[in-house]
Structure 1
Amino acid sequence: MSAREANFDGLVGLTHNYSGLSFGNVASQNNAASVANPRAAARQGLRKMKALADLGFLQGVLPPQERPSARFLRAQGFTGTDHEMIMRAAKEAPAILAAASSASSMWVANAATVSPSADTPDGRVHFTPASLSSKLHRAIEAPTTGRVLRAVFAGDSHFAFHEPLIGAPAMGDEGAANHTRFCSDYGEAGVEFFVYGRSEFGGGVAPQRYPARQTLEASAAIARLHGLGENATVFAQQHPDVIDAGVFHNDVIAVGNRDLLFCHQNAFLNQPAVYEEIRAKLAARGAQLRVVEVPVAAVPVEDAVSSYLFNSQLLTRADGKTVLVVPQECRDNPRVSAYLDQLTASRGPIDEVLVFDLRESMRNGGGPACLRLRVVLSDAEQAAVNPQVWINDARFAQLDSWIERHYRDRLVDADLADPSLLDECRTALDELTRILALGSVYDFQLVN
């Protein structure tokens, strides 16, 4: 079956700020209370999308969510008009208001886990929105995420949607950030690789400093929901030591594409056995796993975390060559930059490195891979996607102009108490729904 991989990037929201809400995410914590620039953040992400589209990659965009979330604030007992509610929350519970105002939905690697039709028994692309139950500011995203996915991927004949897993610690699910798919070609049946941080019921080792957000039980449930058999799945545990070093998702320490795995030497527990299981199952599907393992001597874990070397995108060009998309921080780190030079000079599986300025997102702990959701689509499935979400010259110009009209160029924690921020967000999203033909994905509760 002919198929291509599409990357759908999240558009940074109007309330992009540095509230330091994500315990375990070193960048988020280190940059708490810094001054953010939402306009620059959105433009940095949009320019990455346009650059990759110009290079011939299939590139789409997913919208931000309403923030601050009035529905969430009302569920916490705040009453009155929308403006009164925000001012009361700012006075009585600023941490709750910060959670309600987070623009974290921009990191759509956490939006859902996706299995392509080549892997599923019913021949449809399966989506399970992530519950993101480990963090309050992210746990409120799933309902809108589900509506957005249905508005973008239209039609039950091609796409199947599941409900998020129950929001309990035992079923902690963080979406595609802990999921990779290996295959010979995108349209061929593959092996889906699920990485977890701990097991709720199976015991074993676990990180001691920072929480493990993904459980084995959640990964196994998603595999069952998508109809994936034992021969099509590999479950591996992330090394607890790297979680304690700030590797809160697998995509901060490993990335894969087709038959290639690019990872750190200390990414997984029992790493050689993980390689062997993937190799054996992938070989049964006609492909041979290639591994580029970065030794700790070349790139220590702390450098991998600060540079986000592995929170990169591995992309296959039309000519079959492999491109690694990394943030500017990789070039700013001498050890990582030297390793990248060695990598491309070695004439190995990775042919080219592309560097992007994503500093606004990076300061909150999200790099190129965090900003995208990967979806493999056959020709018919691609034709069924809402055409307004594809990035091209016209869509880029529309979105760039939209950002200029609606986004602030400065935002600090104190600004979250400004009720007009909600009005600005709603006005902007109302226009965006028309640009992207999203229908009624936003569930605004207007109380004035």
Structure 2
Amino acid sequence: MKSFEVNFDGLVGPTHNYGGLSFGNVASQSNSQQASNPREAALQGLEKMKALMDMGFVQGVLAPQERPDVAALRSLGFAGTDAQVIERAAKEAMPLLVASCSASSMWVANAATVSPSADTSDGRVHFTAANLNCKYHRSIEHPTTSRVLGAMFADQQHFAHHAALPAVAQFGDEGAANHTRFCRDYGEAGVEFFVFGRSAFDSRYPAPQKYPARQTLEASQAVARLHGLSEEGVVFAQQNPAVIDQGVFHNDVIAVGNGELLFHHQDAFLNTEQMLAELHGKLAARGGNFQSISVPRDQVAVEDAVRSYLFNSQLLSRADGSMLLIVPEECRANPRVWQYLQGLLAAGGPIREVKVFDLKQSMQNGGGPACLRLRVALNETELAAVNPGVIMTPALYDTLTAWVNKHYRDALRESDLADPQLLLECRTALDELTQILKLGAVYPFQIN
């Protein structure tokens, strides 16, 4: 049976703004308070989805969240009508209003961790929504994320959904941004690679000193247990604390994997050689031939990797077995990174092509191509069981483009977040979107 790795890209929400909310994310903090363009951001994301569809990849869409999150503001003591809640929050606690308006759910690499049916004990595809409890503006996402994923992957014969882990520091879980999978074929048993920044209970693991390590070993282990993964099919590895302190807030800022290949920076991990040997041995036991490409620090410094998002790229397998690397325009703008990529192509290794996309609106807020997609490996039967409304087609692309142009503003500043009309615009847009994507009632305003 044929299998696919489907990329479900996050659709940028109508409140896309530069709030500078993510401590440890250099781009997010450095562009704080600039005016954003939600319409352009959403259209840039849709253009990437269409381009991958046109190249023959199966492409899906993951809906954004309702923002501002009035219920979250109410839980913090703001009362009255929706408009009064927003007005009072703007007057008394603007940072909380900004957080409640964040469109960060667009980065669906943080939506969940996904294990394909070939790896799990019950033969179903497993999803665990990420609690994202390191940052308040993201910690409020997982209830809606769970409902949206449940509406997309509803068939319980093929899909299993788990609630987010306890929302405490010891179980900080950032989803697929710290998880990848290696396999000979997407439909065969593979090796799932969990990367953590610190341990909550074991002091032998060093921790960063400047920025927080968002993923814990204990969270990764819990997800592996929930998904019914075997010891033979799992490798846990620690991020290098020194690179976290240089702005590598997720592993997907310093490494990307696909198929049998790991593309990573020389300084990405601790105990790198031991980790690579474990990956090689476990994948070999499952019939695979693990390979790695280590980018030397003397060719691309960590700072260049963070600023260009070289590793926050999509590594895609073509039908002929070669790989395509999808990178943001910022890689071409960085001379050292672009020189490295040209040398990589000339070397004739597994990565045979690099394609550049303009994702400036997302990049300025700290998210590149890899942040914008959640990968789900599916066989033909499972793909047929996915809600067809979320699979990209030329007609859906046209519909969503028209939807964005109809509902989205072309400029948004922090002061605009205090406008109650923005909430009405968002709800109107999302109500229409759930009909387009055939999701049913997934948003609080549709349920309550």
- Partner of 1:353, secondary structure, is strand
**Aligned pairs for 1:194-209 within 5 A:** 194-203=194-203, 204-209=205-210
2:215 corresponds in structure 1 to 214
1:202 Cα deviation from its structure 2 partner: 1.0
2:370 corresponds in structure 1 to 369
- Is the 1:70–1:445 contact (alpha carbons within 8 Å) kept by the matching residues of 2? no
2:427 corresponds in structure 1 to 426
2:234 corresponds in structure 1 to 233
For residues 215-236 of structure 1, what are the alpha-carbon distances to aligned partners after superposition, in whole Å with 9 as ceiling and x for unaligned?
A: 0000000000001111110000
1:159 corresponds in structure 2 to 159
1:427 Cα deviation from its structure 2 partner: 0.3
2:225 corresponds in structure 1 to 224
Structure 1 distance, partners of 2:152, 2:288, is 32
For residues 278-299 of structure 1, what are the alpha-carbon distances to aligned partners after superposition, in whole Å with 9 as ceiling and x for unaligned?
A: 0010110011111111000110
Residue 62 in structure 1 maps to residue 62 in structure 2: yes
For residues 59-102 of structure 1, what are the alpha-carbon distances to aligned partners after superposition, in whole Å with 9 as ceiling and x for unaligned?
A: 00011100001111111111111111100000011111011000
- Is the 2:441–2:447 contact (alpha carbons within 8 Å) kept by the matching residues of 1? no
**Aligned pairs for 1:347-366 within 5 A:** 347-366=348-367
1:284 corresponds in structure 2 to 285
1:127 corresponds in structure 2 to 127
Structure 2 distance, partners of 1:230, 1:156, is 25
1:84 corresponds in structure 2 to 84
1:19 corresponds in structure 2 to 19
Structure 2 distance, partners of 1:444, 1:431, is 13
**Structure 1 counterpart of 2:59, one-letter code:** Q
Residue 311 in structure 1 maps to residue 312 in structure 2: yes
**Structure 2 counterpart of 1:13, one-letter code:** G
1:177 corresponds in structure 2 to 177
1:48 corresponds in structure 2 to 48
Quote the sequence identity (%).
66
- Partner of 1:314, secondary structure, is strand
- Is the 2:109–2:370 contact (alpha carbons within 8 Å) kept by the matching residues of 1? yes
2:328 corresponds in structure 1 to 327
**Structure 2 counterpart of 1:228, one-letter code:** L
- Is the 2:199–2:216 contact (alpha carbons within 8 Å) kept by the matching residues of 1? yes
For residues 165-220 of structure 1, what are the alpha-carbon distances to aligned partners after superposition, in whole Å with 9 as ceiling and x for unaligned?
A: 00000000000000010001101100000000000111121100000000000000
Structure 1 distance, partners of 2:182, 2:2, is 16
Structure 1 distance, partners of 2:318, 2:101, is 38
Structure 1 distance, partners of 2:309, 2:431, is 34
- Is the 1:82–1:446 contact (alpha carbons within 8 Å) kept by the matching residues of 2? no
Residue 102 in structure 1 maps to residue 99 in structure 2: no
**Structure 1 counterpart of 2:147, one-letter code:** R
Query: Structure 2 vs 1, CA of residues 270 and 64 (structure 1 numbering), >3 Å: closer, same or farther?
Result: same
For residues 9-61 of structure 1, what are the alpha-carbon distances to aligned partners after superposition, in whole Å with 9 as ceiling and x for unaligned?
A: 00000000001000000000000001100000000000000000000001000
**Structure 1 counterpart of 2:265, one-letter code:** H
Q: Structure 2: give runs of 5+ residues left out of the alignment.
A: none
1:446 Cα deviation from its structure 2 partner: 9.7
**Structure 2 counterpart of 1:374, one-letter code:** R
Structure 2 distance, partners of 1:374, 1:188, is 16
Structure 2 distance, partners of 1:217, 1:237, is 12
**Structure 1 counterpart of 2:237, one-letter code:** A
1:144 corresponds in structure 2 to 144
**Aligned pairs for 1:388-427 within 5 A:** 388-427=389-428
- Partner of 2:351, secondary structure, is coil
Structure 2 distance, partners of 1:161, 1:379, is 20
**Structure 2 counterpart of 1:111, one-letter code:** A
Structure 1 distance, partners of 2:100, 2:446, is 14
* CA RMSD in angstroms, aligned pairs only: 0.9
Pairs aligned (count): 447
- Partner of 2:121, secondary structure, is coil
For residues 127-156 of structure 1, what are the alpha-carbon distances to aligned partners after superposition, in whole Å with 9 as ceiling and x for unaligned?
A: 000000000000000000000001011210
Structure 1 distance, partners of 2:368, 2:127, is 23
2:189 corresponds in structure 1 to 189
- Partner of 2:349, secondary structure, is coil
Deviates more, 1:73-82 or 1:41-50: 73-82
- Return the TM-score normalized by structure 1: 0.99
1:445 Cα deviation from its structure 2 partner: 7.4
TM superposition outliers: structure 1 runs of 4+ over 6 Å:
none
1:31 corresponds in structure 2 to 31
- Return the TM-score normalized by structure 2: 0.99
For residues 223-260 of structure 1, what are the alpha-carbon distances to aligned partners after superposition, in whole Å with 9 as ceiling and x for unaligned?
A: 00001111110000000000000000000000000100
Structure 2 distance, partners of 1:132, 1:108, is 12
- Partner of 2:444, secondary structure, is coil
- Is the 2:119–2:190 contact (alpha carbons within 8 Å) kept by the matching residues of 1? yes
- Is the 1:56–1:318 contact (alpha carbons within 8 Å) kept by the matching residues of 2? no
Structure 1 distance, partners of 2:306, 2:115, is 28
Structure 1 distance, partners of 2:63, 2:287, is 37
1:319 Cα deviation from its structure 2 partner: 2.2
Residue 10 in structure 1 maps to residue 42 in structure 2: no
Structure 1 distance, partners of 2:248, 2:96, is 25
1:318 Cα deviation from its structure 2 partner: 1.9
- Partner of 1:444, secondary structure, is helix
1:2 Cα deviation from its structure 2 partner: 2.5
- Is the 2:208–2:242 contact (alpha carbons within 8 Å) kept by the matching residues of 1? yes
- Is the 2:130–2:142 contact (alpha carbons within 8 Å) kept by the matching residues of 1? yes
Structure 1 distance, partners of 2:391, 2:319, is 18
Structure 2 distance, partners of 1:432, 1:162, is 25
Q: Structure 1: give runs of 5+ residues left out of the alignment.
A: none
2:441 corresponds in structure 1 to 440
- Partner of 2:211, secondary structure, is coil
**Structure 2 counterpart of 1:97, one-letter code:** L
